[in-house]
Amino acid sequence: MKYSLGTSIQFVKGVGPKIFQIFSDEGISKVEDLIYYFPFRYDDFSKVKKINELKLGEIATVYGVLKTVKAYRIGKKKLFVVEGLLTDESGSIRVIWFGQRYVTSFKDKEIIIAGKVVKNSFGLHLSPLQTQLKEKFNLHVARIVPVYRSIGNLKTKFIRKIIFEVLNNLNWSEVKEFLPDFIISKFNLISLSEAIKKIHFPENEEDISKSKKRFIFQDLLIFHLKILKEEKILEKKTAPQIKIFEEKTKEILDFDLTDDQKKAWEEIKKDLSQTKPMGRLLQGDVGTGKTILSQMAALNVALNGYQVVFMAPTEILAKQHFLNFLSRFSKFNLVIGFISSKETLFGFGNAWTKISRKKFLENVVMKKIDIIIGTHALIGEDIRFKKIGLIIVDEQQRFGVEQRVKLIEKADHPEIFPHFLSLTATPIPRTIALILYGNLDVSLLKQRPYPFLVKIFIIGPDQRKKVYSLVEKKLRDGFQLVVICPRVEEGKELRAVKSEYKKIKEIFKDFSVGILYGKMKAEEKENVIKDMIEGKIQILVSSSVLEVGVNLPKLNLMIIENSERFGLAQLYQMIGRLSREGLESFAFLFVEKLTKSSYQRLKAIKTVNNGFELAEIDLKLRGPGEFFGKSQSGLPDIVIEGLNDKELMEVARKAALEILEKDSSLKSFPEFFEVFQKKGKILLG
């Protein structure tokens, strides 16, 4: 059967309705989706050797007949072991399999093993990585083998087989080249169809290198084009010149600004005073004062008669910003509004009230609300603005010029292009920041207004009871504790929020325990945070949702389960929730398997008191793929890998400039224009 790009995976040989559902849950429903599900690594089983040529520690593939099969169980867990003798014309070698019953049926048959010769308590033997009967064609051994991330309960071996079936029977005429010919030729790229074939089933290392280069290049090209086109848009826009009211600005300050904050404020003031739209990223660790600087900017823009739009990623954080703004701006004759998908609030002075969505929207468009704070509901279809002078976004890495244009189109004065301020506590290495924030100026905040008094301990499994005993004493002294788990539901080898919540309630029976995770209803989350702030909850068991923006001023104890599974920068952000008011705090990094490498990596947290430096360390130690984390980045693994390739990034930028030089609209490259429109939105939002 020939497959087209639009063929449903359900009709691929070996799939069917049940397996289709598993693929579909991962977003893979068509053949086109499947061929872009790339391997994340490769096993090189291409070295085929005779048994007498095998070397200790070397991975190789060997053919032979399996003799004298013996099966038995060992240890307390009664692990199933199969031991056999593999023989070819050059000699014999012992082979030991663990938990693989099926190999007992291979006795006296010719098999292929890809494995490694090891010497341990079992003696010298071959430890198999892949085992199969000898066939005319070998997909899983005797070659460079692609390794895919599992999808549901579908293992890499099955996925490999299905992808091979599709590629062998694909209607390749549908895979159309979209890069302009002069780009392919000038930058020495292979074709799209060739790259797809070689990324999945390479014959050698050069195939892997060329196919990766093609895919990394094309996506970096789109990144750069997007950024360059946004810069062109901004060059033609005019922003309002904002007069700065220095004395009134001082009225909202209840502490002295740090040197970093003073420098950043001078940069923001300079930007606001010009007709060129400000595009600035305020980047700083938790507690370095990003919010107060955004409030200073918002106050001045509002006092100049323009509306300010402030967008936050979650309802909890947006509500916290609303209440914080309301408190600081109570002296001024300014109205502050809050909007989410659930509710709309109207605030003035120190008071606020709920109002209907209809009434709220009327007040916004009539400019009876000066500062509008909310979630993504701010760009909902039914909302209209009067005169936006400043947009502030908190932890919204994908919010760019296009989204600003969408907001402006909702205003009565579209000729006024707003200033833009982005806030992030995510420490991002410079190479990655170039991609995410290519058209923004950056202000760095490294100093904290309060001393950061957090003692950090790396804890192995045998020290758990000792830590619990210390934590209980601190809780009785009035401390609050957060326990962070890497998963919400039960998972293999990882502690989960829901099960840990039950355990913690049993261990700390005298204390009130709450639970927090991403998929809870917004109202439930708000109530939990409110109870934590008011001291009604002494222990909170949470997912890593806590790292994004939530402010708990009295939090001074933290346990992070499976801490080795988190990135250093992510851990640093979570720990940054402690000591918000300069109080002595304790962070316990629990590690299930304390290896030398995990200890060395985590030790950096204790010695480096700077999120940006830790991000760079993490990037070097774990690579960009692990730095981002598959679920949170939105970037394909293959592109993330390319973010460390500075040379390729420069080449892609050069190619983008050449394309724009030939045609800034891209319309004379119709195939590329279509892909740019589609892929640009996926990659950059």
Question: Which one has a higher pLDDT value, 531 or 636?
Answer: 531
Q: What is the 3-state secondary structure (H, E, C) of 90-127?
A: CEEEEEEEECCHHHHHHCCCEEEEEEEEEEECCEEEEE
Residue 571 has pLDDT above 70, yes or no: yes
Q: What is the per-residue pLDDT for 310?
A: 95
Is 137 a domain residue? yes
Most confident stretch, 178-187, 618-627, 638-647: 178-187
**Which residue has 């946004």 as its token pair?**
230
Convert the pLDDT of each residue in 118-128 to its tens digit.
998 888 999 99
User: What CATH code is carried by the domain that includes residue 114?
Assistant: 2.40.50.140
Q: Tell me the C-alpha distance between 589 and 571, whole Å.
A: 9
- Check whether residue 333 and residue 480 sit in a common domain: no
Q: What is the CA radius of gyration of the chain?
A: 29
- Check whether residue 459 and residue 516 sit in a common domain: yes
Strand, coil or helix: 600: helix
Domain that holds residue 14: 1-42+156-174
**Which residue has 């109205």 as its token pair?**
335
Reported as a pLDDT band with limits 50, 70 and 90, residue 232 is confident
Q: What is the per-residue pLDDT for 566?
A: 81
Closest CA to 307 of 190, 386, 254, 249: 386
- Check whether residue 390 and residue 325 sit in a common domain: yes
β-partners of residue 480 are 555
- Check whether residue 370 and residue 414 sit in a common domain: yes
User: What CATH code is carried by the domain that includes residue 6?
Assistant: 1.10.150
Q: What is the per-residue pLDDT for 626?
A: 44
Burial class (CB in 10 A: 0-12, 13-18, 19+), 567: buried
Question: Which one has a higher pLDDT value, 633 or 376?
Answer: 376
Task: For helices 192-200 and 156-168, give the axis angle rounded to 10 degrees.
Answer: 150
Is 552 a domain residue? yes
Distances (CA, A) of 607 to 368, 405, 501, 561, 603: 51, 44, 31, 20, 7
Is 240 a domain residue? no
Q: Tell me the C-alpha distance between 113 and 583, whole Å.
A: 59
Q: Which of 258-267, 402-411, 597-606, 611-620 is predicted least confidently?
A: 611-620
% of the chain exceeding 70 in pLDDT: 86
Residue 20 has pLDDT above 90, yes or no: yes
Convert the pLDDT of each residue in 286-321 to its tens digit.
778 899 999 999 999 999 999 999 998 778 788 889
- Check whether residue 6 and residue 71 sit in a common domain: no
Distances (CA, A) of 493 to 497, 579, 594: 13, 31, 14
Distances (CA, A) of 74 to 98, 122, 126: 10, 12, 19
Residue 614 has pLDDT above 50, yes or no: yes
Is 679 a domain residue? no
Residue 365 has pLDDT above 70, yes or no: yes
Alpha-carbon dihedral 124, 127, 132, 133, rounded to 10 degrees: 0
Q: Which of 376, 407, 424 is the endpoint of a domain?
A: 424
- Check whether residue 304 and residue 400 sit in a common domain: yes
Question: Which one has a higher pLDDT value, 640 or 541?
Answer: 541
Q: What is the mean pLDDT of residues 248-274?
A: 93
Reported as a pLDDT band with limits 50, 70 and 90, residue 416 is confident
Q: Where are the beta strands (DSSP E) in 419-484?
A: 419-424, 441-445, 454-459, 480-484
Reported as a pLDDT band with limits 50, 70 and 90, residue 25 is confident
Q: Tell me the C-alpha distance between 445 and 260, whole Å.
A: 5
| CA distance between the termini of the chain | 37
Q: What is the per-residue pLDDT for 395?
A: 75
Q: What is the per-residue pLDDT for 404?
A: 65
Residue 627 has pLDDT above 50, yes or no: no
Q: What is the mean pLDDT of residues 194-208?
A: 95
User: What CATH code is carried by the domain that includes residue 383?
Assistant: 3.40.50.300
Residue 463 has pLDDT above 50, yes or no: yes
Residue 104 has pLDDT above 60, yes or no: yes
Q: Which of 10-24, 134-148, 352-366 is predicted least confidently?
A: 134-148
- Check whether residue 305 and residue 414 sit in a common domain: yes
Q: What is the per-residue pLDDT for 106?
A: 92
Question: Which one has a higher pLDDT value, 487 or 66?
Answer: 66
Q: Which residues, 6 or more positions from 49, have their beta carbon under 8 angstroms from its beta carbon?
A: 60, 61, 62
Residue 617 has pLDDT above 70, yes or no: no
Q: Tell me the C-alpha distance between 230 and 239, whole Å.
A: 15
Residue 170 has pLDDT above 60, yes or no: yes
Q: Tell me the C-alpha distance between 211 and 190, whole Å.
A: 7
- Check whether residue 292 and residue 404 sit in a common domain: yes
Q: Tell me the C-alpha distance between 656 and 233, whole Å.
A: 16
Is 12 a domain residue? yes
Q: What is the per-residue pLDDT for 430?
A: 60
Residue 410 has pLDDT above 80, yes or no: no
Tokens matching residue 393? 């976004």
Q: What is the mean pLDDT of residues 388-408?
A: 73
Q: What is the per-residue pLDDT for 685?
A: 43
Strand, coil or helix: 515: strand
Q: Tell me the C-alpha distance between 213 and 571, whole Å.
A: 32
Q: What is the per-residue pLDDT for 632?
A: 36
Residue 400 has pLDDT above 60, yes or no: no
Q: Tell me the C-alpha distance between 294 and 577, whole Å.
A: 20
Q: What is the mean pLDDT of residues 142-147?
A: 91
Q: What is the mean pLDDT of residues 214-224?
A: 88
How would you classify the pairing of strands 279-284 and 441-445? parallel
Tokens matching residue 153? 């309960």
- Check whether residue 31 and residue 162 sit in a common domain: yes
Q: What is the mean pLDDT of residues 266-272?
A: 96
Q: Which of 166-175, 356-365, 606-615 is predicted least confidently?
A: 606-615
- What is the total count of domains within the chain? 4
Q: Which of 53-67, 233-247, 371-385, 417-431 is predicted least confidently?
A: 417-431
Question: Alpha carbon 331 to chain centroid distance?
Answer: 40
CB 542 within 8 A of CB 497: yes
Q: Tell me the C-alpha distance between 259 and 236, whole Å.
A: 34
Residue 482 has pLDDT above 60, yes or no: yes
CA atoms within 13 A on the CB side of 514: 23
Secondary structure of the chain: what % helix, strand, coil (to 5)?
Answer: 40, 25, 35
Q: Where are the beta strands (DSSP E) in 430-470?
A: 441-445, 454-459
Q: What is the per-residue pLDDT for 503?
A: 93
Q: Which of 190-199, 238-247, 283-292 is predicted least confidently?
A: 283-292
Is 134 a domain residue? yes
- Check whether residue 299 and residue 416 sit in a common domain: yes
- Check whether residue 403 and residue 478 sit in a common domain: no
**Backbone conformation region of residue 539, classed left if phi is above 0, alpha if psi is from -120 to 50, else beta:** beta
Q: Find the angle CA(149)-CA(153)-CA(157) to the nearest 5 degrees.
A: 55
pTM beyond 0.85: no
CB 75 within 8 A of CB 104: no
Q: What is the mean pLDDT of residues 402-421?
A: 75
Please give the mean pLDDT across all residues of the chain.
Answer: 85
Reported as a pLDDT band with limits 50, 70 and 90, residue 630 is very low
Is 354 a domain residue? yes
Q: What is the mean pLDDT of residues 658-680?
A: 86
% of the chain exceeding 90 in pLDDT: 46
- Check whether residue 292 and residue 407 sit in a common domain: yes
Is 57 a domain residue? yes
